[in-house]
Amino acid sequence: MSIARFWRETPRRYNLGGSKCATCGTVSFPPRVVCPTCTHHRQSIGKMAPFQLSGEGEVESFTVVHEAAEGFEMQVPYVLALVRTPEGPVLTGQIVDVEPGEVAIGLPVRATFRKLREEGKAGVIHYGYKFSPRTEDDPAPPRGRTAPVPREAPAPERAKA
């Protein structure tokens, strides 16, 4: 992924920002311009609002990776999981802070932000979300909510002729 694209996607990576359809209520991650579930997709055009996911979830499926892709050899074995969020979307992410043998379907997890990779010895460090097991001591994060929409400057008034 190019550095420019990575930086454009930073808000959603760091904040788990998605979108919510005002027509049917479907929450999507990553954010979408058109709702994938509305019968007539064009009904949702202009009705997709920014939405903040809570960061909570539950392991729905997982695998333990023993043969890593290039650049991830030092992390093996590691767990890659599908995490179902209470808002609906299923996210793919690495499970950290737990031994691979302790991960199970149904494990409650919480998003945590960590280093993903580094480009070269003096390159850019990329951060993103991973998941760690929730403990009883963890405060419950707020449930998903509509994210604040950036305010636009009012359009300048035209001079009357």
Mean pLDDT, each 10-residue run in order, the chain (161 residues):
56 77 92 87 86 94 91 86 96 94 96 79 77 78 46 45 46
Q: How far are the Cα atoms of 30, 37, 40 from residue 15, in angstroms, in the given order?
A: 11, 24, 30
pTM score: 0.74
Classify residue 154 as left (phi > 0), alpha (psi -120 to 50) or beta. Answer: beta
Half-sphere exposure of 33 (CA within 13 A, CB side): 0
Query: What integer pLDDT is reported at residue 118 of this predicted model?
Result: 74
Handedness of CA 114, 117, 118, 119 (dihedral sign): negative
54-135 CATH? 2.40.50
Question: CA-CA distance, 90 to 118, in Å (whole number)?
Answer: 26
- Residues near 142 by Cβ (< 8 Å), separated by ≥ 6? 54
Query: What integer pLDDT is reported at residue 43 of this predicted model?
Result: 81
